[in-house]
Structure 1
Amino acid sequence: MKNILNSFSRRNFVGALLAVGLSTTFGAAWATDEAPEAFIKRITTDTLDTIKADKALRNGDVSKIMQMVDNKLMPHVNFRRMTALATGPAWRKATPEQQKKLQDEFKVLLIRTYSGALSQVSDQVVVVKPLRPGQEDKNLVVNTEVRGKGDPIQLDYRLEKTPGEGAGWMIFDLNVLGVWLIENYRTQFTKEINAGGMDALIASLVARNKSNAGKP
């Protein structure tokens, strides 16, 4: 099955995926008035610093990475929306139990697939590009480059601003080297659903996660 690994290397993607938001300094004081560029710059810089300082993360300790993602990444990501968009129309027909299982397995798939590449994080810095004018808060793209040894890595974040008290920016899609995560996985997920339904897709993710868990 063609997947995201055919479009760019796992080593490049990991720093990008986990650079979304393993920030250790996020606080409510930032939420209401922080510009989207400042939000991305802050959390990505803090993330790279965290990884550089933590040998277990760089060595691909999956349990520690999972803990970090749950504690630090998920508060900044609308993962339910990300999973729903990747699934397509079948999401609305799924039961709550199927939706939860799919979210859980999708998260494990992303983390386990790319965790080993954290050892490649060394001297990278994130450069945030000027925001394109005229964008809406519900679908806003911040363009960045991850620079270090080798060629710069294009990394774009699609954000939405949450309303009400404690409003702030949430990430719901990533573009790495021209490939949007949701679009890529929707192609894969649609094939699985068309072949066997939602349960077949979940079973496929479970099998892939078990396979990944057995690899060094």
Structure 2
Amino acid sequence: MKIFPLISLIVLLSIPFVLEANDNLMPYQMITTSIDSMTKRLGDEDNKKRLAENKDELYQIIDETLSPYFQKKYAGRLVLNNYWKQSSKSQKERFTEALYQSLIRSYALTMLNFDVSKIKVISDSINLEGLKKLTIKSEVEYKGELIPMNFSFANFKQGWMFYDVRIEGVSYIKNYRNQFNAEISANGLDSVILRLESLEN
């Protein structure tokens, strides 16, 4: 990969305030609106340095940014794949939340070293009538190269939300599915959940 970890981009392109999902916003507008908003919220270089030393505040910003438009349960289900059906309700809930929290902590600092304004949305207005899923195409300038990014959205009960991102054709869902499937096969789902939960401390 020519670019930083996949999940950080998902975090970057979420709506950056604690709000109910705005059904009036089309998926591409969720991305374009958040580019400007995230730039303002992270602030200048001095504020980014301050956030780097105040990780709890940074994690809170990421959480508030990600939660309104990221369908973490569906993402967790896709990551677990066949193990989802085999797991209990408690295991599903714990894995989904532990995965979400570990992603926030693992990739928060990446955001401070990235220029969000370098992201360009290619997809424009789309007729959503009758659609259940869609892809929003974008690209980002990174180290002098244009890197393609495709955001996967689905129409859930809460409205349009995203659950996957493909960077240079590589899906973060598939990437983590491969990682966790191997670990679950070797050590069991409970062991994986406990490891992820330990990262929160």
Q: Percent identity?
A: 21
**Residue 17 of structure 2 is aligned to residue 24 of structure 1:** yes
Distance change >3 Å, CA 8–CA 114, structure 1 → 2: farther
**Residue 186 of structure 2 is aligned to residue 195 of structure 1:** yes
1:205 paired residue number: 196
RMSD: 3.1
Distance change >3 Å, CA 103–CA 25, structure 1 → 2: closer
Task: Indicate the SS of the match to 1:120.
Answer: coil
Q: Any stretches of 5+ residues in structure 1 without a counterpart?
A: 1-6
2:33 paired residue number: 42
**Residue 144 of structure 2 is aligned to residue 150 of structure 1:** yes
* Aligned partner (choices 140, 156, 175) of residue 184 of structure 1: 175
How far off is 1:132 after superposition? 10
1-side partners of 2:105 and 2:3: how far apart? Answer: 15
The letter for the 2-side match of 1:64 is E
Q: Does the 8 A contact of 1:105 with 1:206 survive in 2?
A: yes
1:102-181 matches, within 5 Å, as 102-122=95-115, 124-130=117-123, 137-147=131-141, 150-163=144-157, 168-181=159-172
The letter for the 2-side match of 1:183 is K
2-side partners of 1:43 and 1:123: how far apart? Answer: 9
TM-score (norm 1): 0.75
Task: Render the CA deviation track for 1:94-123: whole Å, top value 9, x for unaligned.
Answer: 222212221222123212222222331347
Task: Render the CA deviation track for 1:65-112: whole Å, top value 9, x for unaligned.
Answer: 321233231111110000110011211222222122212221232122
Distance change >3 Å, CA 123–CA 17, structure 1 → 2: closer
Q: Any stretches of 5+ residues in structure 2 without a counterpart?
A: none
1-side partners of 2:170 and 2:118: how far apart? Answer: 21
